[in-house]
């Protein structure tokens, strides 16, 4: 994607400096530790729920090559889930594994963005959601490679490689489908309009985010707004799609107030663990 702004070159140092401004002190009073766990759940739950949604396409994609590519993205995200939730359990210190966290929490304890739990819609809507999230995820991970917590930086390093590719792919396809036919253009514009309000939740900082930024562990999501806008605007322009004007944000996912959809995802995903408690699989 040569025409995109420079999003493939990690500026880890700059962002790390920014993230680390308040973070000279050693990690974690108790309040900080709660916020840290909360933050890790947000990372893990976004990856888990989006990976789960993407995996629903396996066997149902519009063409074999895309079926395979979408499964690769889902595999990457579920792999990242295991790392983030594994670390969340470790930091929490109550002996919960990544699987415990994925399979034994109810919806109100999930911390993913509303955007990623919404139903897939058509393949174009899935790609639009992927793009809006990838553009954010990429910036977030790039900043996290400079985290004051080396475990976070290490996971981010690995995930960033994968997500750079996700973004390259989803951006290219949003451009292609926006530009393609009258029908594809209309579908992509509708998908964008539909998801725009949900995408805004990504930048809504709360107390957890502020604490993490102050500790130098993670960037304040609000600080990612500008570079996200740059990427998204550039891609939408090439895609001949119109950026929605509304700045309204649907919120709540990060704090555990979800849409009705998440309950159904969990009912399906957690079925075996719930029906046969304690069994080993």
Judged by the rule CB under 8 A, the positions of this chain that interact with another protein are 48, 52, 55-56, 58-69, 71-72, 74-75, 78-79, 81-82, 85, 98-99, 102-103, 122-124, 161-162, 165, 168-169, 172-173, 175-177, 179-181, 183-184, 187, 268-269, 271-273, 276, 278-281
- Least distance (Å) from another protein to the CB of residue 206? 27
Quick one: residue 93, left, alpha or beta (phi over 0 = left, psi -120 to 50 = alpha)? Answer: left
Q: Closest approach of Cβ 194 to another protein, in Å? A: 17
Closest to 134 measured CA to CA, from 191, 82, 199, 187? 199
Closer residue to another protein, CB minimum distance, 43 or 202: 43
Contact (Cβ atoms closer than 8 angstroms) between residue 270 and residue 103: yes
Write down the least CB distance from residue 174 to another protein, Å.
11
Cα 104–Cα 201–Cα 133 angle in degrees, nearest 5: 80
Return the number of the residue (24 or 64) whose C-beta is nearest another protein: 64
- Would you say 22 and 215 are in contact if contact means Cβ atoms under 8 Å apart? yes
Nearer to another protein, 134 or 201 (CB): 134
As measured in angstroms, the least distance from the Cβ of 6 to another protein is 19
Least separation in angstroms between residue 272's CB and another protein is: 4
Q: Which is nearer to another protein, 83 or 213 (CB)?
A: 83
Whether residue 37 contacts residue 217, with contact meaning beta carbons closer than 8 Å, is answered with no
| Residue closest to 156 by CA, chosen among 170, 143, 169 | 143
**Around Cβ 198, how many Cβ atoms within 10 Å?**
22
Closer CB to another protein, 78 or 214, in the complex: 78
Residue 279's CB is within 10 A of a number of other CB atoms, namely 8
């Amino acid at each position: 994607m040569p025409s995109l702004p420079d999003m493939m070159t990690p500026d880890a140092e700059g962002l790390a400096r920014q993230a680390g401004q308040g973070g000279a002190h050693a990690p974690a009073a108790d309040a900080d530790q709660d916020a840290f766990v909360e933050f890790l759940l947000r990372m893990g739950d976004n990856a888990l729920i989006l990976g789960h949604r993407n995996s629903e396409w396996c066997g149902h994609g519009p063409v074999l090559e895309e079926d395979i590519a979408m499964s690769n993205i889902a595999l990457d995200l579920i792999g990242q889930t295991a790392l983030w939730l594994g670390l969340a359990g470790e930091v929490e210190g109550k002996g919960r594994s990544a699987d415990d966290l994925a399979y034994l929490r109810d919806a109100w304890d999930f911390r993913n963005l509303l955007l990623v739990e919404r139903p897939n819609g058509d393949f174009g809507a899935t790609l639009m959601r992927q793009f809006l999230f990838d553009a954010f995820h990429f910036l977030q991970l790039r900043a996290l490679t400079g985290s004051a917590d080396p475990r976070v930086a290490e996971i981010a390093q690995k995930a960033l490689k994968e997500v750079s590719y996700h973004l390259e792919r989803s951006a290219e396809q949003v451009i292609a489908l926006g530009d393609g036919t009258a029908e594809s253009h209309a579908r992509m514009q509708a998908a964008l309009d539909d998801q725009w309000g949900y995408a805004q939740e990504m930048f809504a900082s709360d107390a957890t985010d502020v604490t993490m930024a102050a500790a130098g562990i993670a960037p304040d999501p609000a600080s990612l707004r500008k570079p996200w806008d740059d990427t998204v605007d550039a891609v939408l322009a090439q895609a001949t799609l119109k950026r929605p004007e509304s700045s309204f944000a649907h919120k709540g996912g990060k704090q555990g107030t979800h849409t009705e959809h998440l309950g159904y995802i969990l009912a399906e995903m957690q079925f075996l663990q719930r029906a046969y408690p304690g069994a080993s699989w």
